[in-house]
Amino acid sequence: MTDHTASNGPTLPYVLVLYYSRQGATRTLAEQVASGVESVSGIEARLRTVPAVSPVCEATAPEIPDEGAIYVEEADLRQCSGLALGSPTRFGNMAAPLKYFLDTTSGLWMNGALVDRPATAFTSTASLHGGQESTLLTMLIPLLHHGMVYAGVPYSETTLLSTQSGGTPYGTSHLAGSNADREVDADERSLAVAQGRRLAKLALALTSMRNARP
Ligand SMILES: Cc1cc2nc3c(=O)[nH]c(=O)nc-3n(C[C@H](O)[C@H](O)[C@H](O)COP(=O)(O)O)c2cc1C
């Protein structure tokens, strides 16, 4: 997994697993999605995060975060073969730091850089009915504007039918509980891995399709 490595000169195509996480739950899901990506040969996962945003405009973050993945750069997104986007649910929507980063990507949009690349999303909430689906569905909107091909989690992953916690056809989700102390459970974990594996296969297939264009 290309976690703390420089982002230039990849030898293999990669799926960018881009997340924001304050308390670690979305980061754990991201790591599971990345392990699913890396279970497919010929492609790797690149884990990246985004800095927090602050209402104090002078506030700056260190260039290297204290823990977790390093911060994403535009080139990480421009050169990816697929994108898995993860955010905690905040009032039924994605967290501002991730949206802030997406709002800097209009250059990629103008060039059609992400057209026909597959994408997916994942989230974590405090409460089971606290907006997992609304977060995932709204996360997909900017990806569609970029021309990406959205892939959720199909019900052929039968864990979707039996899970008592997270897991939706729109993407993997996690129930963290009101104290944010509920671990990612086995069902959520297996769905996140399956989601990453599926995205990696789609990334390879769509890369072939784009390369075959006249
Ligand atoms: C500002 C804010 C808004 C939140 N909104 C929701 C919400 O709408 N629904 C919910 O279930 N949890 C909500 N939460 C809780 C987080 O989604 C939850 O703790 C999540 O597991 C955090 O993920 P992380 O560990 O990756 O930071 C909110 C938390 C914060 C700080």
d(CA 198, CA 150): 11
Give the global pTM: 0.94
Q: Which amino acid is at 31?
A: E
Range 14-52+63-211: architecture per CATH: 3-Layer(aba) Sandwich (3.40)
83, pLDDT greater than 90? yes
Closest residue CA from atom 28 of ligand 1: 90
Question: Residue 2: its pLDDT value, please?
Answer: 55
Nearest partner of 133 among 100, 93, 189, judged by Cα: 93
pLDDT in tens, 18-66: 999 999 999 999 999 999 999 999 999 999 999 999 877 767 778 888 8
Q: Are 157 and 194 in contact (CB under 8 A)?
A: yes
SS3 85: strand
Q: Residue written as tokens 């308390």?
A: 23
Helices and strands in the chain, H and E counts: 7, 6
The one-character DSSP state at 66 is S
Question: Rounded to the nearest whole angstrom, what is the distance from the C-alpha of residue 19 to the centroid of ligand 1?
Answer: 14
- Domain extents for the chain? 14-52+63-211
Ligand 1, pocket residues at CB < 6 Å:
21-27, 88-92, 124-127, 130-131, 176, 180
Closest residue CA from atom 3 of ligand 1: 90
pLDDT in tens, 117-135: 999 999 999 999 999 999 9
Output the six-digit token pair for 151.
Answer: 């892939």
H/E segment holding residue 160: helix 159-162
